């Protein structure tokens, strides 16, 4: 439970703290009033910023990405400042747009949505994600908690802490190896299975929203991973239609796995598949129980023989009719959900195709469908030997963009 007591933050005369609203990896978040504009904002207090070079780089990347992205359906930073007593700005305050709720909190409340509400929310999510991808950014952690919603049915994607920039939509992922070498060393140190050579990290995306290609540690996962996660989010939105789920306390993720091959298997199970522990609650097994086991064609994207043998070790499981889970959904809603939750990333619907789907035909807005003019490409992502002083200088440059030091 979040501590509602107001913290003793040095936010100066411009901001008045209202309440504590969250706590994450990098610090606490409070709702506040910007007394200059009389607008509500969210302030994240990041402490000990430069105690670790990896964590400093992560935070620098997050704020750089958020500064680069400029779309109404993506949360914006409105200010960054430091406590007046801070000379080294080891403690920074990041001021962002405020939203009334996130989808996770909303789904746990006795709130119900109408079909039209969900259509408008999903359309905004597709537009925001499409813009983000056009700026060469993978979010890598799309989930209900990172989908902010206001009472006027506006949506904003937030939390870019796991996001990465990449230089083209058809990038050579081998060139990104050095970007992730420290994370790779961390994986090896934790004793992950040998034989799965990783270029991008496999422990991204909260388990229940993790795409098959990420679960199977594909070297070349791309923007399709975010599309799968968005499909999982769409499923939870559809559960908020009263006729689909009468009791709000029964709402849950579509794929609530409790373990995940091969990075976090259930070591207490006696069941083995292709030499790996596999319980009934393994994430892939939970996925297969709904969408069915993949065909030979579906497996063509998998590059690692161990992963192929593991998937092929599952007995045939037919796909379920999604109307069993969402009896009140329209044919268009079911069709879009199926296309988003397609096992193979090569056959999964693209965001361009999603916009063309009949589901959105009557609500499209060219202003929301614009693409990014500037790709995200940061010097610190090209320099693996970047030192702490350089990070400090780059961070000071980011703060200076907001004209407050």
Domains along the chain with CATH numbers = 1-98 (3.30.200.20), 101-360 (1.10.510.10)
Task: Name residue, tokens 């070498």.
Answer: 181
User: CA torsion 54→219→162→183, rounded to 10°?
Assistant: -20
pLDDT at 203: 54
**pLDDT > 70? residue 192:** no
CB 257 within 8 A of CB 279: no
Cα–Cα dist 290/85, whole Å: 56
pLDDT for 47-79, tens place per residue? 888 888 888 888 888 899 999 999 999 999 999
Q: How many other CB atoms sit within 10 Å of the CB of residue 172?
A: 11
Q: What percent helix, strand, coil does the chain show, rounded to 5?
A: 35, 15, 50
Q: What is the pTM of this model?
A: 0.88
Q: Residue 95 forms beta bridges with which residues?
A: 43, 79
Residue 141 in this model has a pLDDT that exceeds 70: yes
Distance of CA 181 to the CA centre of its chain: 21
pLDDT at site 97: 96
Please give the share of the chain, as a percent, with pLDDT higher than 90.
Answer: 63
Q: Which among 31, 50, 28 is positioned nearest to 41, based on CA atoms?
A: 31
Q: Measured between alpha carbons, how far is residue 405 from residues 120, 240, 358, 371, 402 in Å?
A: 40, 46, 50, 32, 8
Cα gap 128→122, rounded to integer Å? 10
pLDDT band at 318 (very low <50, low <70, confident <90, very high): very high
Q: Is 44 annotated as a binding residue?
A: yes
Q: Which of 141, 159, 266, 381 is catalytic?
A: 141
Whose tokens are 């008045």? That residue is 16
Find the mean pLDDT for residues 379-405.
78
Contact between 102 and 47 under an 8 Å Cβ cutoff? The reply is no
Measured between alpha carbons, how far is 148 from 227 in angstroms, rounded to an integer?
A: 17
What phi and psi, each to the nearest 5 degrees, are found at residue 350? Answer: -90, 165
Stretch 8-33: mean pLDDT: 88
Q: Say which residues have a Cβ less than 8 Å from residue 100's Cβ, sequence separation at least 6.
A: 149, 150, 151
CA distances from 376 to 159, 252, 261, 330 (A): 16, 35, 32, 38
pLDDT digits (tens, 9 = 90+) for 227-249: 999 999 999 999 999 999 999 99
Residue listed under structure tokens 């422990």? 203
- Is 141 assigned a catalytic role? yes
**Do the Cβ atoms of 354 and 341 come closer than 8 Å?**
no
C-alpha span between 132 and 134 (Å, rounded)? 5
Residue 100 Cα distances to 105, 141, 254, angstroms: 10, 20, 25
Q: Crossing angle, helix 53-68 and helix 388-400, to 10 degrees?
A: 30
Strands (E), 103-247: 137-138, 147-149, 155-157, 164-165
């Amino acid at each position: 439970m979040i501590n509602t007591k107001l913290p003793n933050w040095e936010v100066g005369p411009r901001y008045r703290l209202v309440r504590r609203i969250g706590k994450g990896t990098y610090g606490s978040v409070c709702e506040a009033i910007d007394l200059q504009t009389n607008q509500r904002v969210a302030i994240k207090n990041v402490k000990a910023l430069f105690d670790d070079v990896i964590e400093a780089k992560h935070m620098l990347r997050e704020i750089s990405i958020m500064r680069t992205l400029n779309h109404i359906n993506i949360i914006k930073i409105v200010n960054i400042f430091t406590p007046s007593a801070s000379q080294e700005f080891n403690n920074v305050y990041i001021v962002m747009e405020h939203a009334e709720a996130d989808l996770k909190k909303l789904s746990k409340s006795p709130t119900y949505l109408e079909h039209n509400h969900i259509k408008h929310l999903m359309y905004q999510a597709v537009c925001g994600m499409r813009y983000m991808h056009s700026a060469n950014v993978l979010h890598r952690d799309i989930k209900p908690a990172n989908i902010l919603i206001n009472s006027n049915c506006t949506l904003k994607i937030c939390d870019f802490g796991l996001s990465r920039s990449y230089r083209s939509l058809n990038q050579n992922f081998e060139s990104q190896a050095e970007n992730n070498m420290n994370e790779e060393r961390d994986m090896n140190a934790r004793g992950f299975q040998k034989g799965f050579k990783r270029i991008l990290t496999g422990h991204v995306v909260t388990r229940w929203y993790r795409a098959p290609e990420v679960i199977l540690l594909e070297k070349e996962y791309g923007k399709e991973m975010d599309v799968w996660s968005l499909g999982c989010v769409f499923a939870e939105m559809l559960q908020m239609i009263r006729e689909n789920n009468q009791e709000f306390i029964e709402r849950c993720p579509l794929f609530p796995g409790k373990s995940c091959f091969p990075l976090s298997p259930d070591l207490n199970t006696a069941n083995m598949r292709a030499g790996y522990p596999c319980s009934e609650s393994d994430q892939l097994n939970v996925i297969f129980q709904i969408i069915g086991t993949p065909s030979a064609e579906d497996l063509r994207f998998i590059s690692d023989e161990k992963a192929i043998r593991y998937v092929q070790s599952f007995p045939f499981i037919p796909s379920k009719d999604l109307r069993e889970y969402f009896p009140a959904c329209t044919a268009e809603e079911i069709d879009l959900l199926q296309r988003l939750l397609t096992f193979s990333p090569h056959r999964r619907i693209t965001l361009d195709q999603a916009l063309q789907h009949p589901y959105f035909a009557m609500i499209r807005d060219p202003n929301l469908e614009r693409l990014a003019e500037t790709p995200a490409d940061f010097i610190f992502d090209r320099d693996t030997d970047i030192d702490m002083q350089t990070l400090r200088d780059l961070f000071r440059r980011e703060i200076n963009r907001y004209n407050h030091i």
